């Protein structure tokens, strides 16, 4: 969060999700922490941990919760297929159509799904490096 105080560019918190009381060693963040990242114009990548979400629909609802806190323009997909102790709920980019469908069912528009699945990261990349 100190980086947000000094950065002149949007920040990316690439692998996270919301928790009301994250533990000291958790990747999960509070809504206030999420708002700090969004306040830089950045993106929070929702991490597909099976410890947090039991399937893609639960993950889509987790993305929705994050978007409800910070706005859809500050939410992305936080993949990490090789860094999990247990298999993630999003294991392969071949699942993108299924995740897109789950996001639509969670209440996102097609334009918002495009933003979450890459458009928001593109905006931050362009703002950061031109």
**Averaged pLDDT of the chain:** 92
What's the pLDDT tens digit per position in 41-77?
999 999 998 888 999 999 999 999 999 999 999 999 9
CA torsion sign, 95 to 97 to 102 to 107?
A: positive
pLDDT at 95: 95
Number of folded domains that form the chain: 1
Assess if residue 23 is contained within a domain.
Answer: no
Residue whose C-alpha is closest to residue 65's, from 12, 13, 116, 25:
116
| Local structure of 16: helix, strand or coil | strand
Assess if residue 1 is contained within a domain.
Answer: no
Strands (E) across 35-84 are located at 43-46, 75-77
User: Would you report the helix, strand and coil content of the chain in percent, each value rounded to 5?
Assistant: 50, 10, 40
Q: Which domain holds residue 80?
A: 9-18+28-129
Assess if residue 95 is contained within a domain.
Answer: yes
Assess if residue 61 is contained within a domain.
Answer: yes
| Local structure of 36: helix, strand or coil | helix
């Amino acid at each position: 969060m100190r980086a947000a105080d000094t950065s002149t560019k949007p920040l990316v918190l690439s692998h996270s999700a919301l928790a009301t009381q994250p533990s000291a060693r958790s990747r999960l963040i509070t809504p206030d922490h999420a708002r700090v990242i969004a306040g830089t114009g950045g993106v929070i990548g929702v991490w597909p941990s099976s410890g947090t979400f039991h399937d893609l629909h639960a993950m889509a609802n987790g993305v929705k919760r994050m978007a409800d806190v910070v706005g859809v323009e500050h939410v992305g997909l936080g993949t990490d297929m090789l860094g999990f102790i247990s298999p993630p709920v999003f294991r392969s980019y071949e699942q993108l159509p299924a995740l897109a469908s789950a996001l639509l069912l969670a209440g996102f528009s097609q334009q918002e799904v495009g933003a979450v699945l890459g458009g928001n990261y593109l905006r931050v990349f362009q703002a950061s490096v031109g």
